[in-house]
Amino acid sequence: MSTSTPSHQAVTLANRVSMPLLGLGTYRLRADDVQPVVRAAVQAGYRLIDSAAVYRNEAHIGKVIHELLSDDSLGLRREDLFITSKLAPRDQGYDACYNAVQDSLQRFNLEYLDLYLIHWPGLKQHDPKNAINRFSSWRALEKLHAEGKLRAIGVSNYTLTHLTELLASCTIRPHVHQFELHPLLNQRELIALCEQNEIQVQAYSSLGEGRLVSGELVLPNLQAIFAKYAQQTPAQVLLRWAVQHGWGVIPKSKSPERVKVNGDVFSFELAEEDMRTLDLLGVSNPRRFCWNPSEIQ
C-alpha cells in the first residue's frame, strides 16, 4: 500500500495500477448535486470518483472534473484522479459493450477511464443469453484495456458462480470486484476467491443504504462499538472496518459536509476484538439491502 496524504491511501492492482481505497459514490447524484459534492470530495482528499452509465451523471461529473483540473489552486493533473464507470446491463455483448465504453468516454470528455466494470451479470433472470453476453462483454473490455482506453477492468455484483465462470474463460483476470459488503453481508467465500486471484475487493452500500447508521436497525453489538468510538461517526466506523481489511469503499452523500466527514477514515483504527465482532455480525442472519444478483443465471 502506498500513501501520500491520509485520504490518498491506495492499493496496487494486479496490473500495477494504483487505486485509492477511498472513493466517492455517485449513485442517485443528480445534475444539481454533482458540482458541489464532487468539488467538496476532491478538496477533502478524495481522488476516486465512481459513476455508471445507468446513473446518468457521467457528463455532469466530466464537466466538474475538467473544472477542477483547470483550477490552478488545486494543482491537480488528470493522473491524480481515478475515474470509474460501469456498463449498463442493456449494453452487454461485444459490440454493444465496446460502443458503450466509447460513449462513456465521450460523456466524460476523457481519453481514458481508470476503471470500467460490468455493472450487473445479466439483463433478465434465467436468460441463457446472460452467460454469452457476459463472456462477450469481457472480451470487449480486454480489447479496450489493450488499446489503453481502460487502465483497469473489473466486474460488479458477480456471485461466486459468475466470477468462477469468468476466471475459467478470461485472458485478463478482473482487477476489481465491486459488490455489496458490510458487517451484515460479509461475503467471505467471494472475498476469498478474489484474494486468491489478486482481485481487489471494493465495497458498496457500506452503510447498509444508511440503515446501519440511522438507528433504524437495533443491533446491540453494533451499537456498543459505535458507543466505544464516540469520537467517530457510525459511518466512519463502518467505513474503517472495510478499509482496515484492505477493501475499497465508495460512500455516497448529497451533503458536501457529510462527504468530508465520511472521508476521515484513516486517522484512527479499530481494535482487533471490534473487527472480529463486526466480522461475525451477520454470520447467523445475513442481511442484503440492495439487489440480489444470485437471481441472474
Known binding-site positions: 119
* β-pair type (115-118, 18-20): unpaired
Indicate the residue type of 2: S
Annotated binding site for substrate: 119
The C-alpha cell that represents 44 in the structure block: 477533502
The C-alpha cell that represents 278 in the structure block: 463486526
Evaluate whether 163 touches 193 at the Cβ level (below 8 Å): yes
55 part of the active site: yes
| H helix or E strand, kind and range, residue 60 | helix 58-69
| H helix or E strand, kind and range, residue 139 | helix 129-146
Evaluate whether 254 touches 37 at the Cβ level (below 8 Å): yes
Q: What angle do CA 292, 214, 177 make, to 5 degrees?
A: 35
Q: Which of 27, 46, 55, 158 is catalytic?
A: 55
CA distance 89 to 291: 14
CB atoms within 10 A of CB 262: 26
Q: Choose among 34, 102, 33: nearest CA to 63.
A: 34
Catalytic residues: 55
